[in-house]
Amino acid sequence: MPNLYETLRADIVTAMKARDSQATLSLRTADAAIQRAAMDANKPIDDGLVVTTLRKAVKNLADARVEFEKGGRADLVSANTVEIALLEKYLPKAFDPAKLETMVTEAIAATGAQSKKDMGKVIGALKQHAEAPLLDFSVVSKLVQSKLP
């Protein structure tokens, strides 16, 4: 079974053969960002790196879409929406909330966190978890804050 990066690369070829210039450009841009992130981190490309890089790209596109909406640029809003939908296809589905809550509770117990001042310890422990690359740490952060007094 191909990994996420191999799937993305195969989809680039498919988009090129279909002469879908928008998809080709979006996927090539994502590919370049992934390769750049791998070089910057000096580590091989794995699913965690791909997910992290694509999440960042989707967040940047969503932020830009908000600005385009403010500026009344409907053409750019629609282009961003299409690109976000294309990239989200490669991102894992939202992590099961019950499982995430269990992971956070276990991390709080393992680190002995008592207040929001200890939030860094909890986040650090969660980043060491095997499924850390699949987690959206903005969601995790909010959950940790809600659980700590």
Which residue segments constitute the domains of the chain, with CATH numbers given?
Answer: 4-88 (1.10.1510.10), 97-147 (1.10.10)
The CA distance from 92 to 101, in Å, is 18
For residue 79, give Cα distances in angstroms to 23, 53, 55, 67: 11, 20, 18, 13
Residue 107: count of CB within 10 angstroms of its CB: 22
Smallest CA-to-CA distance from 5 within 41, 53, 74 is with: 53
pLDDT means per 10 residues, the chain with 149 residues, are 81 91 90 90 84 87 88 86 87 73 77 74 75 69 75
